Amino acid sequence: MDIKADLLVVGGGMAGLVAGMVGAEAGLKVVVLRKGQGATAISSGAVDIMSYLPGANVPFANAIEGLNAVSEIYPLHPYSVLGYSDGGLPVDPERVVARVSEAVDWIKGKLNGSPSALVGDLGRTIQAVTLLGSSKPTSLVQGTMFVEGSDDWHDSIVLFVGFRGFPDCNSSITAKNFLASRLPGENRPRRVANCTLDVLPFGQPHNIYSFDIARYMDREEGFAELAKTLKDHVRSTGADFIAFPPVLGLRRARANKFELEDKMGAKVFELLAFPPSVPGLRLQNALESALSTDGGRLLIGHEAVSFEKKEGHIDSVAVKTPQRTFNIIPAAVVLASGKFIGGGIKGDESGFVETLVKLPVVDVESYQTAGARPQRYTNILALSPEGHSLFGVGVAFDSMFRPTGTDGQPVADNVFAAGSILSRYNYSAEKSGLGVALATGYAAGANAADYVKGALP
Ligand SMILES: Cc1cc2nc3c(=O)[nH]c(=O)nc-3n(C[C@H](O)[C@H](O)[C@H](O)COP(=O)(O)OP(=O)(O)OC[C@H]3O[C@@H](n4cnc5c(N)ncnc54)[C@H](O)[C@@H]3O)c2cc1C
């Protein structure tokens, strides 16, 4: 049986769920397809807006400075497109900042009260502490990762917590690196300490996974066990701050943080982790709940596999599940299927391909990749400030975020694109991934809603 929808969103990561919510808020009947998990669910769960100019070692003072620089230097960047007036250049930097800021305020409102409630704004860089003890500049962190009072932690004691049998975090190394990476005279605590807790979700101290501890912490007895074990370490070290790997819970993380602060008499925060991380999945879950609160329908395990196009208009998309195949008849489509992890773009020996509409794939400077092998877009250094231009390939798009073909024209009047499927920015070098997904999902969702309501040609 076919399903009719005003807005069909292909992809259920940050970009697709945001576009879906914007459509639902505008009164559209929205269906979002998510075939599996993408980059959003495995990210650190902190939202980077624009931390670095590619190639730079020093981060921007804050995201506003970053957005202004992008508007000046990269007029085709997805953020810059938000600053076009009357459909084209020049870029108005103030408009870019205003539109990103609107999207940030909106998502903070949407996630308020959820386990992933976000803290931060464009005017301030948050130095989130990582599992390695280093700092990562970002713009929005989940409340559980926010270190309240860390602007001045001179004279304080920070206790780093590890878990026996949990190999991702060696609290002794984290503590040492944390101190070593702070310059003398910089805002650094008086002392660091570390401890290893015996909290055993399965009764055995072997190969414990972050999600195991988080699920254990969602249960009352798990939390009580941890609080009991931790108390002695806090007392003996006199800790003012307690740094946890990000395992405070999937559902109860916020409540656990506040309850621990109350019980321990110290500020508690989670460190930023490597993928896949509990806060990434927490963010994914919170976005999905927000979509359903707005009345959007999310179909998990549903893959868009082909489409029919008539007179420059996509009027049917075939959807496959393990049990059946059916069609969705959409008025408008937002393509937010991600890049290599989400599956929106694939690359092999024969070149890159956009997997659903078969759109041409271009590089970060808008040149057609036309059969070039992905290896051509990698840097000899695995980790360098320039990053790999591989992460900048994607689909080209116009000022309305409609994907375009080799002739530069939109491939269909009712299709819009958002998130990491877009070309012309390199999220890994810029540290802008979830920020671009948010801002472009917000814009593409609004453009699609305008289109459905006849306000856009
Ligand atoms: C390891 C890692 C860590 C990162 N850490 C950070 C970070 O700390 N901060 C930050 O800001 N950014 C981070 N990023 C970047 C950021 O996660 C991504 O840029 C962002 O999540 C992209 O969101 P998206 O919605 O465009 O794509 P995704 O989140 O990848 O979502 C794509 C979705 O499309 C679905 N899909 C694909 N094809 C189909 C189809 N045919 N039918 C149905 N569904 C389909 C996928 O299942 C998936 O749900 C990280 C990226 C990676 C890879």
Give the chain's domain count. Answer: 2
Find the range with the poorest average confidence among 41-45, 114-118, 274-278, 409-413. Answer: 274-278
137 and 98, same structural domain?
A: no
Burial class, 113, CB count within 10 angstroms (exposed 0-12 / middle 13-18 / buried 19+)? exposed
Strands (E), 180-286: 191-197, 241-244, 267-270
Mean pLDDT, the chain, rounded, equals 95
256 and 171, same structural domain?
A: yes
Task: Please report whether residue 290 resides in a domain.
Answer: yes
241, 272, 303 - which closes a domain: 272
pLDDT at 323: 92
Average pLDDT over residues 221-248: 96
The β-bridge partners of 316 are: 308
191 and 107, same structural domain?
A: no
Task: Please report whether residue 311 resides in a domain.
Answer: yes
Q: Is 16 in the pocket of ligand 1 (CB under 6 A)?
A: yes
Q: Per-residue confidence at 184, pLDDT binned at 50, 70, 90?
A: low
Structural domain boundaries, residue 20: 3-113+281-452
Do 122 and 63 touch, CB atoms closer than 8 A?
yes
167 and 313, same structural domain?
A: no
In whole angstroms, give the CA distance from residue 382 to residue 380.
6
Nearest CA to ligand 1 atom 39: 337
Q: Is the dihedral of CA 144, 145, 146, 152 positive or negative?
A: positive
**Relative to the CA of 48, which ligand 1 atom is closest?**
11
pLDDT at 192: 96
272, 300, 331 - which closes a domain: 272
Q: Of the candidates 394, 342, 386, which has an alpha carbon nearest to the alpha carbon of residue 365?
A: 394
Distance of CA 454 to the CA centre of its chain: 31
428 and 332, same structural domain?
A: yes
Nearest CA to ligand 1 atom 42: 303
Q: How far is the CA of 200 from the centre of ligand 1 (A)?
A: 32
Q: How far is the CA of 433 from the centre of ligand 1 (A)?
A: 8
Q: How far is the CA of 304 from the centre of ligand 1 (A)?
A: 16
355 and 249, same structural domain?
A: no
pLDDT surpassing 80 at residue 151: no
Q: Of the candidates 392, 417, 419, which has an alpha carbon nearest to the alpha carbon of residue 405?
A: 417
Nearest CA to ligand 1 atom 19: 433
For 356-372, what is each residue's pLDDT tens digit? Answer: 999 999 999 999 999 99
Q: Per-residue confidence at 55, pLDDT binned at 50, 70, 90?
A: confident
β pairing state of 415-417 and 325-335 = parallel
Percent of the chain surpassing pLDDT 90:
87
Q: Per-residue confidence at 185, pLDDT binned at 50, 70, 90?
A: low
pLDDT at 383: 81
Q: Of the candidates 5, 4, 2, which has an alpha carbon nearest to the alpha carbon of residue 448?
A: 5
141 and 97, same structural domain?
A: no
The β-bridge partners of 330 are: 5
Q: Is 35 in the pocket of ligand 1 (CB under 6 A)?
A: yes
Tokens, residue 281: 């999945």
Average pLDDT over residues 331-341: 98
pLDDT surpassing 90 at residue 303: yes
In whole angstroms, give the CA distance from residue 418 to residue 395.
10
226 and 364, same structural domain?
A: no
pLDDT surpassing 70 at residue 212: yes
For 396-427, what is each residue's pLDDT tens digit? Answer: 999 999 999 999 999 999 999 999 999 999 99
The β-bridge partners of 300 are: 34
pLDDT at 181: 86
pLDDT at 424: 97
Q: How far is the CA of 54 from the centre of ligand 1 (A)?
A: 20
Q: Per-residue confidence at 115, pLDDT binned at 50, 70, 90?
A: very high
In whole angstroms, give the CA distance from residue 159 to residue 242.
5
Q: Is 388 in the pocket of ligand 1 (CB under 6 A)?
A: no
Do 168 and 277 touch, CB atoms closer than 8 A?
no
pLDDT surpassing 90 at residue 104: yes
Q: How far is the CA of 311 from the centre of ligand 1 (A)?
A: 31
Q: Is 13 in the pocket of ligand 1 (CB under 6 A)?
A: yes
Q: Is 47 in the pocket of ligand 1 (CB under 6 A)?
A: yes
pLDDT at 188: 84
317 and 242, same structural domain?
A: no
For 309-320, what is each residue's pLDDT tens digit? Answer: 999 999 999 999
Q: Is 402 in the pocket of ligand 1 (CB under 6 A)?
A: no
pTM of model > 0.95: yes
Q: How far is the CA of 342 from the centre of ligand 1 (A)?
A: 5
250 and 158, same structural domain?
A: yes
